């Protein structure tokens, strides 16, 4: 079972304090190392508890940055799942492997080169020619730790429905797992970014936003940092 947690909530306590608290200990294997740690710790916190160095400012610990991708096999479960190490609590017999961050996507483009909405679809296929080869295998969906319907988003984008495609990526943390899983080397998360960017680029911004920016420009609205 997967629990969504906020590491920051648990971090407000000193992890080692839990040793004196009659906490139940859980036995796991993380990156091949047997670790026994108090229950209620996330995978990352269990690593820290075992003495793994805590390096600050490299991850959000809130399930947002996508820097802590792990592959998990649960006790007795037939398969593995992809999750975020800061968002899953350790369980008895759980086996965890941290995944290396994959190579970023190679696509590059300038939004300014897309002059109007008539050109978007042809530009998309120039930039992401592999997207049309989607096999509908569902590999991207099954690896996504945010349960995004990635396959559907790719299909929508290939049909030029960029607003709908982009909306599906609202929760995307850019962990790149969908890209790693794709047998056609499609980078669905970058398809998502493209969809969101062209939607914003080619559509009128919300009037409230425009009015606020205008107020700022005129000095009628102060922003205090
Ligand atoms: S869509 Fe891809 S990059 Fe975004 S969270 Fe899901 S697996 Fe990670
Ligand atoms: S993993 Fe790739 S080929 Fe399979 S459904 Fe997702 S985008 Fe399509
Ligand atoms: S550390 Fe950012 S998602 Fe886990």
Three-state helix/strand/coil letters over 36-94: EEECCCEHHHHHHHCCCCCCCCCCCCCCCCCCCEEEEECCCCCCCEEEECCCCECCCCC
The verdict on residue 53 lying in a domain is yes
Q: Give 138-186 pLDDT, tens digit per residue.
A: 999 999 999 999 999 999 999 999 999 999 999 999 998 999 889 998 9
Question: What's the start-to-end Cα distance of the chain, in Å?
Answer: 41
Alpha-carbon gap, residue 18 to 51, rounded angstroms: 14
Are residues 53 and 22 located together in one domain of the fold? yes
Are residues 12 and 91 located together in one domain of the fold? yes
Are residues 77 and 34 located together in one domain of the fold? yes
**Domain of 89, in residue numbers:** 7-98
Are residues 193 and 119 located together in one domain of the fold? yes
Q: Which residue has the tokens 């008539």?
A: 118
The verdict on residue 210 lying in a domain is no
- Which atom of ligand 2 approaches the CA of 136 most closely? 5
The verdict on residue 214 lying in a domain is no
Are residues 131 and 69 located together in one domain of the fold? no
- Domain boundary among the residues 43, 74, 98 is at 98
- Domain boundary among the residues 49, 66, 98 is at 98
Q: Give the per-residue pLDDT at 67.
A: 87
Whether ligand 3 lies within 6 angstroms of the CB of 47 is answered as: no
SS3 115: coil
Task: Copy the structure tokens of residue 79.
Answer: 């398969």
Are residues 121 and 164 located together in one domain of the fold? yes
Whether ligand 3 lies within 6 angstroms of the CB of 64 is answered as: yes
Residue closest via CA to ligand 1's atom 8 equals: 175
User: Shortest CA distance to 113 belongs to which of 210, 204, 206, 202?
Assistant: 202
The verdict on residue 218 lying in a domain is no
Tally of structural domains, the chain: 2
The verdict on residue 103 lying in a domain is no
Q: Give the per-residue pLDDT at 19.
A: 58
Centre of ligand 3 from the C-alpha of residue 177, in Å = 13
The verdict on residue 211 lying in a domain is no
Q: Is the pLDDT of residue 225 over 90?
A: no
Q: Which residue has the tokens 């992890």?
A: 15
SS3 197: helix
The verdict on residue 2 lying in a domain is no
Q: Give the per-residue pLDDT at 204.
A: 74
The verdict on residue 29 lying in a domain is yes
Q: Is the pLDDT of residue 12 over 50?
A: no
Q: Give 15-74 pLDDT, tens digit per residue.
A: 555 555 677 999 999 999 999 999 999 999 999 999 988 887 778 999 998 889 999 999
Q: What's the sign of the alpha-carbon dihedral 146, 12, 94, 104?
A: positive
Model-level pTM?
A: 0.74
Mean of per-residue pLDDT scores for the chain: 87
Give Cα 89 to chain centroid, integer Å: 18
Ligand nearest to the backbone CA of 183: 2
Are residues 59 and 22 located together in one domain of the fold? yes
**CATH code of the domain in which 48 resides:** 3.10.20.30
- Which atom of ligand 2 approaches the CA of 139 most closely? 1
Are residues 133 and 73 located together in one domain of the fold? no
| Lowest mean per-residue pLDDT among 96-110, 122-136, 181-195 | 96-110
CA dihedral 153, 144, 102, 77 (to 10 degrees): -150
Whether ligand 3 lies within 6 angstroms of the CB of 68 is answered as: yes
SS3 29: strand
Best residue for ligand 2 mutational test, from 151, 172, 194 (most atoms within 8 Å of Cβ): 151
């Amino acid at each position: 079972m997967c629990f969504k947690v906020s590491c920051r909530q648990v971090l407000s306590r000193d992890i080692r304090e839990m040793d004196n608290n009659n906490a139940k200990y859980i036995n796991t294997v993380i990156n091949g190392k047997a670790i026994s740690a108090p229950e209620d710790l996330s995978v990352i916190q269990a690593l820290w508890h075992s003495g793994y160095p805590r390096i600050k400012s490299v991850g959000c610990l809130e399930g947002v940055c996508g820097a802590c991708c792990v592959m998990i096999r649960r006790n007795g479960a037939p398969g593995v799942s992809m999750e975020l190490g800061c968002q899953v609590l350790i369980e008895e017999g759980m086996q965890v492997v941290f995944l290396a961050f994959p190579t970023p996507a190679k696509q590059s483009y300038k939004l300014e080169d897309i002059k109007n909405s008539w050109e978007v679809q042809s530009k998309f296929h120039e930039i992401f020619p592999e997207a049309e080869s989607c096999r509908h295998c569902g590999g991207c969906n099954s690896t996504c730790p945010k349960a995004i319907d990635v396959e559907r988003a790719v299909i929508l984008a290939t049909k030029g429905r960029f607003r709908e495609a982009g909306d599906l990526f609202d929760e995307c943390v850019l962990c790149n797992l969908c890209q790693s899983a794709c047998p056609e080397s499609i980078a669905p998360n970058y398809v998502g970014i493209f969809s969101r960017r062209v939607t914003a680029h080619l559509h009128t911004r919300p009037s409230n936003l425009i009015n606020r920016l205008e107020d700022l420009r005129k000095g009628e609205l102060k922003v205090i940092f």
